[in-house]
Amino acid sequence: MARRKKFVRCLTACVALLAVALPLGAAKKRVARKARAKTKTFTLAEMRRRVLEARPLAVYYSIGDSRGLKSLAAHASRMTVIAPQCYWVESDGVIQGEVPPELLEIARRKGLPVMPLVFNRGFNRETITALLHSPEAQRRLVSYMAYHAAKENLVGFQFDLENIDPADQSLFTAFVKAAAARMHEDGRLLSVALVPKFSDQFPRPDLPDHPTLGEWAAGYDYHALGESADFLTLMTYDHFNRSTAAGPIAGYEWVKKALAYAEARIPPEKLLLGIALYGREWSELGVSTFSRSLNAQEVRELRIGWKIKPQWDDRWRSPWFQYRRGRVTRTVWFENSRSWREKLNLVRDDHLRGFAAWRLGFEGPSFWSLTAIRPARPGKRAIRRAGASNAGKGSVAKKESSKEGAPANSR
């Protein structure tokens, strides 16, 4: 009898536990379903369609730092593609690096296509020369790309291969064509980052004292690359950089000249305008000059701390200011809502595919209010395109052409 009572008590307790546990289990399942709905895994076809149909196509570069990750989490809905600079290639075609896990997690949660950069580390010429002269190394690189793309569900890649020997231009063109064909077989995309170019002549006969001017850009055949790649980024920043005297990051007239050259060779629907999100401070002491890059918050702190009112340069359509600290003269050029608007208007007026911003986390809050580009004004593109054929003619002032001969890794 006592055993029976004990059994009944145990049975009653179990029923009570089940009565509590079942609703809790159902609730947990509902929470899990909601979480899965919020972090829907998009198919490759869906991501590819999103990229191809986006107007404007808004690409944001990142290095996976904390500031960039915070901006990514806050503004992913304003982006089309996140492009982390994370894979570098060795001379034998082996890829090193990985997509930062936290960046990948945020992108997946937000349903944002990921298109990593593949670059030659330090933009070393020997690396890219060895790669372009070895069919086996090229096949290995493309195989690695296909493997990583499938593993991480990437929409594709962008080549940021710089400092190419001008003599290897045709080899680079052929490599991009083959790599794009393989990516397309897998349903993925391939894009290419281009150093700004202003002339097809190399060396420049009109500037005999500067025989290597433009060498950094001479390895790109804009027209041929435009036929193979899904889109191309024109890196219209680092106009003045750590290798030059102080000047604008992306002077308006300089950007327009670079864009005119590109538009004469690449369909506008394949072209992204590079947008600089950073500033730079040059410090001069006697004949010595060194510089550092600045994010928008650092520029703001300098302005407030030194009680400085920035000036506006009408020619370059860029803001700047100068101050002295001890014996050192410091000059700061940066981008703000006014200068950003000038460049985004070029995207709109020239009917470009979109823009690509370097780099995420350096922008100020005002940038995000500008990225909704209005429809183009009728006839504007036709006016600008009419003058595109004049790009590259005549001499270009030494300071104005500094980017064409300067390493892009100075940013």
33 domain residue, yes or no: no
Higher pLDDT, 183 or 385: 183
Per-residue pLDDT tens for 354-409?
Answer: 999 999 999 999 999 998 644 444 444 443 443 443 333 333 333 333 445 444 44
Domain of 152, CATH number, reads 3.20.20.80
134 domain residue, yes or no: yes
Collapsing DSSP to helix, strand or coil, 316 comes out as coil
* Average pLDDT for the chain: 86
Collapsing DSSP to helix, strand or coil, 357 comes out as strand
DSSP class per residue in 85-149 = EEEEE-TTS-EEE---HHHHHHHHHHT--B--EEE-GGG-HHHHHHHHT-HHHHHHHHHHHHHHH
311 domain residue, yes or no: no
CA 261 and chain centroid, separation: 20
Q: What is the pTM of this model?
A: 0.83
176 domain residue, yes or no: yes
Domain that holds residue 384: 44-278+335-410
Backbone angles phi, psi at 17, to 5 degrees: -65, -40
312 domain residue, yes or no: no
14 domain residue, yes or no: no
121 domain residue, yes or no: yes
Per-residue pLDDT tens for 250-305?
Answer: 999 999 999 999 999 999 999 999 999 999 999 999 889 999 999 999 999 999 99
Structure tokens at 223: 């027209």
pLDDT of 12 reads: 64
5 domain residue, yes or no: no
CB 141, CB 131: distance < 8 Å: yes
Collapsing DSSP to helix, strand or coil, 282 comes out as strand
Q: In the chain, how many domains are there? A: 1
